[in-house]
Amino acid sequence: MDYAGTQFHALRGFKPTRYTVHVNGPWCITFEFADGHAYEIDLEQYH
């Protein structure tokens, strides 16, 4: 998941921890991990 250009990282201030992957311009996919799977997946616009 952490390859060049995705800016994969954990977001601060969330319990459980949410992660983000940049996909295009201000658009990111955010999600949580549980049991090795991604849950609560959202497409969000950050500016």
User: How confident is the model over 14-30, as pLDDT tens digits?
Assistant: 898 999 999 888 999 99
Examine the pLDDT at 44 and tell me if it is beyond 70.
yes
8-state DSSP, 16: S
Examine the pLDDT at 1 and tell me if it is beyond 70.
no
Determine the residue type at 4: A
Q: Which two tokens stand for residue 13?
A: 């201030």
Whole-model pTM: value is: 0.80
Q: Are 31 and 39 in contact (CB under 8 A)?
A: yes
**Distance (Å, rounded) from C-alpha 14 to C-alpha 31?**
11
